[in-house]
Structure 1
Amino acid sequence: MNCNNYITGSLPVHTMYTTDRLILKILTPDDTNEVLAFQCRNRELFERYEPTRPPYFLTPAHQQAILKCEYDLARKCASIRFYVFLKTNPRIIIGTVCLHDILRMPYCCSEIGYKFDAAFQHQGYAREAVTKVLNIAFTDLSLHRVFARVMPENTPSLRLLEVIGFTCEGTEYACTQIQGKWEDHIRYALLNPYSSI
């Protein structure tokens, strides 16, 4: 099923996928405690690359509301976030990979975003999870193009995109406000390798 002919009310993708070492799942509000623990463990790390969050961001009620919103967006094929778990420990979230702002024809594209627990970085998990989500984007959703924005100092993320095969398209100057400051981002893109169009 692709994003051009999804059925409203049903998910356009499976709720769970696996790789050699990982489980990728679309979560629901029932998973609020696990998501909140993941966000709290990595607050300092994530805040370096994200907009300023409201004071109530790290509360059960707000995280529950976010999960409900994410699930509703996934059903509409507007945005799909996968939470990443190890097969050896399927209760602890180690990261997320999201296809943001999915656009249908004539664009057929999405922005990919990802973040991983500090304790699980530099072990190939991000590459494994992002590669799987790209496969979902290009096969299950039939997207033509996926792009990413990365702050210039985030060298691990830049290396990840380059290793996967993304092409650097240039710098978007002062494009996103991060912690109250307008920050440059380097833009990368990857075209669907399975498309003949």
Structure 2
Amino acid sequence: MKPILHSERLVLKVLDESNAADVLEFVLRNKEFLEPWEPKRSEEYYTLDYQADLLAKEYSQFRKRELYKLWMFRKEEPDQVIGSLTLSNIVYGVFQSCHLGYRIDQSAQGRGFMTEAVAAVADYAFYELGLHRIEANIMPRNKASLKVAEKVGFYHEGVALNFLRINGVWEDHIHMVLRNERIE
């Protein structure tokens, strides 16, 4: 069953290939805005077929409990995607950890939506998935993203030099961590 998370102003849900047009609209609308923060994208990425294939792959990973990509909608506008949050590299067993990535629509930034969404997804990761640790790697110049993580309670655990290739350049990242201290 696909999870649907609700917060005060948002609905977060797993999508599949049937939602490719909505996701493509989000991707196209935010192409220039997201470019400095994401991997270099091919032109094919900005097509309906590519987004449908990507959503199908992500849904398959979701069914295997390997990846949880939740798409963000405002309750006031339930048909327009305004962001996504991804729990990836999920490891169970003794590690019980994952990585968190997130992105938001340019028109929705600065209104606390992402902070609200990250808090909801962290609760889901801890209390539904039983994870102990969420790691977010954020470029030092991405002040807005760092602020979101800090507001939710993530702490700075170190810096990874030349960690991820973002928009064609190897970028340093601050390693931010949130731990579930209530899990035994």
Q: Is structure 2 residue 59 aligned with structure 1 residue 95?
A: no
Count how many residue pairs are aligned between Structure 1 and Structure 2.
Answer: 184
| TM-score, length-scaled by structure 1 | 0.91
Superposed CA deviations along residues 127-173 of structure 1, whole A, max 9, x for unmatched, are 11110000000000000100100001000111111111111011100
Shift of residue 125, structure 1, vs aligned partner: 0.4
Superposed CA deviations along residues 37-94 of structure 1, whole A, max 9, x for unmatched, are 0000101111101111122000000000000011000011101000000111100001
Partners of 1:50 and 1:192 in 2: CA distance: 28
Shift of residue 193, structure 1, vs aligned partner: 3.2
Q: Is structure 2 residue 62 aligned with structure 1 residue 65?
A: no
**Structure 2 equivalent of residue 151 of structure 1:** 139
Partners of 1:130 and 1:43 in 2: CA distance: 22
**Structure 2 equivalent of residue 140 of structure 1:** 128
Counterpart of 2:37 in 1: which secondary structure?
Answer: coil
Superposed CA deviations along residues 109-141 of structure 1, whole A, max 9, x for unmatched, are 000111000100111100111100000000000
Partners of 1:125 and 1:35 in 2: CA distance: 18
**Structure 2 equivalent of residue 183 of structure 1:** 171
Partners of 1:40 and 1:55 in 2: CA distance: 11
2:14 pairs with one of 14, 26, 29: 26
Identity of aligned residues (%): 35
RMSD of aligned Cα (Å):
0.9
**Structure 1 equivalent of residue 5 of structure 2:** 17
**Structure 2 equivalent of residue 7 of structure 1:** none
Partners of 2:98 and 2:112 in 1: CA distance: 23
**Structure 1 equivalent of residue 119 of structure 2:** 131
Structure 2 alignment gaps of length 5 or more: none
**Structure 2 equivalent of residue 45 of structure 1:** 33
Runs of 4+ aligned structure 1 residues displaced above 4 Å come to none
Counterpart of 1:57 in 2: which secondary structure?
Answer: helix
Partners of 1:143 and 1:87 in 2: CA distance: 28
**Structure 1 equivalent of residue 63 of structure 2:** 75
Q: Is structure 2 residue 67 aligned with structure 1 residue 116?
A: no
